[in-house]
Amino acid sequence: MLTIDAVHLREINMPLAHPFETSFGVTTERRILLVEAESEGLTAWGECVAGEHPYFSEETVDTAWMIAESELVPRLLGKELVGGGSCPALFSQVRGHRMAKAALENAVWDLEAQQKQVSLAELLGGTRSVIACGVSLGIQPSKAALLEKVEEALAQGYQRIKLKCKPGWDTKIFEAVRGRWPDIQLSCDANSAYRVVDFDKIAEWDDFDLMMIEQPLWYDDFYFHSMLQKRLNTAICLDESIRNRRDALAAIDMESCRIINIKVGRVGGFSEAIAVHNAAAERGIPVWCGGMLETGIGRAHNIALSSLPNFSLPGDVSASARYWTEDIIEPEVVVSAKGEIDVPDGVGSGFTVRRDRIEKLTVRQQTMKVGARVTV
Ligand code: OSB
Ligand code: MG
């Protein structure tokens, strides 16, 4: 059993090493909500993957802070918990706000691992000692710039290249990359940029032998993805549409996708991520771990999750240096020449949080304890 004595909410601002452009816009600096949970002398961190704007999902840094402060943290404080798996029931009265819930739940899992003196990966049911890594390459100013990025990522060993795409940055780009590298594992991610009028064009992408086409249509859709999947040889992978295990079951049953991207924040925490993983595994649907431009805190949690057996495709969990000039954990996440990350076997997440650096990046913080609240 563990009791949460205090929770600290903190917003840090951190510039990205390189701007990241998707079909919904450019990100150059991240605002990130971090949570820190304390229990009987132990402390663990969680990262909220909500963005600055409600573009990827309805949540933002500000909504997550508000809901954590007013609804979620009060439900955690002072409660006797078995562990991370106790959180969904405590939070269930609050609808949605999955990214806010995940940040807190994941910190509790990390505390549980520390209390049990096991690695987080082991606690989650992980079986892999290394995970396979891919990269997600944003939309670039030119085709030449993109080819350079692909070349660089392949030289670093990454096993799969995912190209962000949108109307006007799609067929020509796939042609150029596939033309130059006929044998690499290549995929694309549209972040919902296409509509039914685009079906004929998307069907032509079968020529490029993509591993998958990620979330081509609406962020909340299964039906039209199912219509599109019938017309394609290429697998559709759903990201935004999958909010929980039931969504995964519906999407698999309707054949809206043949692959699922699991983001622990998008589904509300490790408990639901494991449930999606298991549901997909039982139905022969491979999964991979998506990324949300996380700092080392969220990245460490993604590594632990990716060690589960059905994470059989390379994920978007890449080296710290791709995102940050200096990460907030030690050691930084590194990718081997084979395109793999070692799953730490130390207690907890296996990384140390660099509190000194976090202090410098903090723009607001708040401590909540049983019966007390302090804003700094
Ligand atoms: O759709 O996978 C996505 C980043 C921000 C929001 C959505 C997505 C992404 C990425 C980047 O693709 C993944 C990463 O490298 O962290
Ligand atoms: Mg995606």
Model's pTM, two decimal places? 0.97
Q: Which amino acid is at 196?
A: V
What's residue 294's pLDDT?
Answer: 98
Average of per-residue pLDDT across 59-81: 97
Average of per-residue pLDDT across 20-28: 92
Token couple for 376? 């700094």
Average pLDDT, the chain: 97
320 lines ligand 1 (CB under 6 A): no
Residue from 328, 302, 331, 324 nearest 315 by CA? 302
Q: Given a cut of 70, is residue 373 above it in pLDDT?
A: no
Share of the chain above pLDDT 90, in %: 97
> Rounded CA gap, 80 and 247, in Å?
31
Q: Given a cut of 80, is residue 8 above it in pLDDT?
A: yes
Average of per-residue pLDDT across 21-26: 91
Q: Given a cut of 70, is residue 109 above it in pLDDT?
A: yes
Give 245 Cα–ligand 2 centroid separation in angstroms: 18
pLDDT tens digits, 185-226:
999 999 999 999 999 999 999 999 999 999 999 999 999 999
Helices (H), 68-190: 73-76, 87-91, 98-116, 120-124, 143-155, 171-180
21 lines ligand 1 (CB under 6 A): no
Nearest-CA residue for atom 13 of ligand 1: 291
Closest ligand, as measured to the CA of 158? 1
Beta bridge partners of 135: 161
Grade residue 89 by pLDDT with cuts at 50, 70 and 90.
very high
Average of per-residue pLDDT across 41-63: 97
Nearest-CA residue for atom 14 of ligand 1: 291
**Within a 13 Å sphere around the CA of 336, how many CA atoms are in the beta-carbon half?**
8
Q: Given a cut of 60, is residue 163 above it in pLDDT?
A: yes
Q: Which amino acid is at 159?
A: Q
Q: Which amino acid is at 51?
A: G
Grade residue 374 by pLDDT with cuts at 50, 70 and 90.
low
pLDDT tens digits, 132-158:
999 999 999 999 999 999 999 999 999
139 lines ligand 1 (CB under 6 A): no
Q: Which amino acid is at 92?
A: S
Average of per-residue pLDDT across 110-122: 98
pLDDT tens digits, 327-358:
999 999 999 999 999 999 999 999 999 999 99
Nearest-CA residue for atom 12 of ligand 1: 136
Residues tagged active-site: 164, 263
Nearest-CA residue for atom 8 of ligand 1: 292
Largest CA-CA distance found in the chain, in angstroms, rounded: 63
Share of the chain above pLDDT 70, in %: 99
Grade residue 371 by pLDDT with cuts at 50, 70 and 90.
confident
106 lines ligand 1 (CB under 6 A): no
Give 219 Cα–ligand 2 centroid separation in angstroms: 10
What's residue 375's pLDDT?
Answer: 54
> Rounded CA gap, 216 and 137, in Å?
16
> Rounded CA gap, 91 and 292, in Å?
23
For residue 263, the ligand 1 atom closest to its alpha carbon is: 2
For residue 318, the ligand 1 atom closest to its alpha carbon is: 15
- Residues 206/234, Cβ–Cβ less than 8 Å: yes
Give 291 Cα–ligand 1 centroid separation in angstroms: 5
Sign of CA dihedral 376, 74, 267, 166: negative
pLDDT tens digits, 226-275:
999 999 999 999 999 999 999 999 999 999 999 999 999 999 999 999 99
